[in-house]
Structure 1
Amino acid sequence: MSYVSPLYSSRFEHDACGIGAVVDIRGQKSHGTVDSALKIVEKLEHRAGKDAAGETGDG
């Protein structure tokens, strides 16, 4: 059996704004993948600059 390195390594962790990516490693389409991606968008709301009222943004 050959060793496969993990997709995540804590050595790349650092404190900064980030991105989110959700994929199915086998390339299968699913509603679960879309739901997970939408959860990331909710968590990354701070990424877009917003006006004082919080109604418009640049992202």
Structure 2
Amino acid sequence: MEQIFEDVVISIYPVEKTEDGFIVALMVTTKTESQANAAAIALEKLICGQQIEHND
């Protein structure tokens, strides 16, 4: 699966089957370092269950 948002591409795909289940990879590709930093912060908050603020 791949989603494209302006200069940010989010790819999610199954990588490998293990004894316990499956490994799934999440990759975010950006054009700039600031986009990469923002994506990293948003993912960290999402994983930790924190509210993500949108700056539209």
TM-score class, shorter-chain normalisation, is 0.3 to 0.5
TM, length-normalised to structure 2: 0.33
TM, length-normalised to structure 1: 0.32
Pick the structure with greater CA Rg.
1
